[in-house]
Amino acid sequence: MKHITFTVTNDLSFDQRMQRICNSLASNGYRITLVGRKLKSSKPLCQSNYSQKRLYCFFTKGFLFYAEYNIRLFLFLLFQKTDAICAIDLDTILPCLITSKLKNKKRIYDAHELFTELKEVRTRPHIFKIWTLVERISVPHFDYSYTVGQGIANEFNRRYNKHFEIIRNMPLLKSLPKDIQRNEKLLYQGAVNEGRCLEKLIPAMQSLDYKLIVCGSGNFMNQLKELIIKYKVENKIELKGMILPNELFHITQQCALGINLVERGGLNQYLSLANKFFDYIHAGIPQITMNFPEYSFINQQFEIALLIDDVNEETIVTKINGLMTDKVKWKQLHENCLKAREILNWQEEEKRLLSFYNKVFDN
């Protein structure tokens, strides 16, 4: 039984992609350890068929956090018996690279995004230089790599002449209740971070007669709360914070429309294929999303969303009001979601994952 160790910097309770990957591999003959971060607010870990390890850090953000976490992760990996180490994104890649070389173990890179093109990285020159250097000295040394979409895979190939497999972040196909009571509510789920156009969505809520549910947290949360007060829309917005996956799926089903807006400025945003995009599809709710390559390609196949080119308050209001009042169009997109989820699901994507890891150990 081959042992694979995965490394992330987030709280393991809410990382649905890693939960799916680890569960699939553990169910198919691999021994799995998932290493993440322990926070004071961390909820107890759910029982799983793989091992989970949380590393506690004194520092919780910024350079000191990354430095401390990487040191703790290096020490953990150094004494961990494993056959392969998989780094998730750049923020855990250096300990994985060093320990895999020292111990002569297979090393794998799973890029959830184009990390150096994140807005919070790209707009800070000193931070950008550091992460770019980390990428250049590490990614070329990983023999096996995969990512979440074709656009990011193409960019890595352009930068380093390396092939990245595609394993998209699709939900597990689960049955939907036949008697869902959908409310006329809007839903934003996922990271509440810079670059998600929340500074445009919140003022737009002044002209919308619907309630917005926000499920998630991130580096833009304080600014989000300030915007809600500034535009006096406290009665229209409900902040639920971090929600466990099963509860989140239940909440999503009860809403009428999903929101997936992203700034066009950075390459990571332009090439993105967000988790929420598939989560909305699986809950059977249409969405407002970006006219970016990955979203446009899937929408051409299934038409499950209204695409938006220019994110501004007027366009947001027009698109949302238009779809919420056009019951015929809403039902068409809803029915298309139900068809798309039968194809775009983890049961199908899991086949790619297992094929990838079988090749890793066959070699």
**Tokens standing for residue 362:** 């066959």
Average pLDDT value over all residues in the chain: 94
Distance, in Å, from the CA atom of 135 to the CA atom of 90, rounded to the nearest integer, reads: 7
pLDDT tens digits for 163-216? Answer: 999 999 999 999 998 888 888 999 999 999 988 999 999 999 999 999 999 999
Residue 128 in contact with residue 121, Cβ under 8 Å? yes
Contact yes or no for 187/213 (Cβ under 8 A): yes
Q: Which DSSP category does 196 fall into?
A: S
Same fold, 3-170+346-362 and 185-340: yes
Q: Which is the CATH superfamily of the domain at 185-340?
A: Glycogen Phosphorylase B; (3.40.50.2000)
Predicted pLDDT of residue 162: 94
Query: pLDDT, tens digit, for every residue of 18-44?
Result: 999 999 999 999 999 999 999 887 888
Q: Which residue has the tokens 């670059």?
A: 195
Res 265: pLDDT: 75
Can you give the pTM of this predicted structure? 0.91
The top-level CATH class assigned to 3-170+346-362 is alpha beta
Query: CA-to-CA distance for 287 and 304, rounded, in angstroms?
Result: 7
Percent of residues, the chain, with pLDDT higher than 70: 100
Q: How far is CA 141 from CA 33, 109, 145, 190, 312, in A?
A: 22, 10, 10, 31, 42
Bridge partners of 51, per DSSP, are 33
Here the tokens at position 247 are 């509860």
Would you place residue 17 in the very low, low, confident or very high pLDDT band (cuts 50, 70, 90)? very high
| Structural domain spans, the chain | 3-170+346-362, 185-340
pLDDT (tens digit per residue) in 54-86: 999 999 888 899 999 999 999 999 999 999 999
Tokens of 20: 């799916």
Looking at residue 132, its pLDDT comes to 96
Residue 180 three-state SS: coil
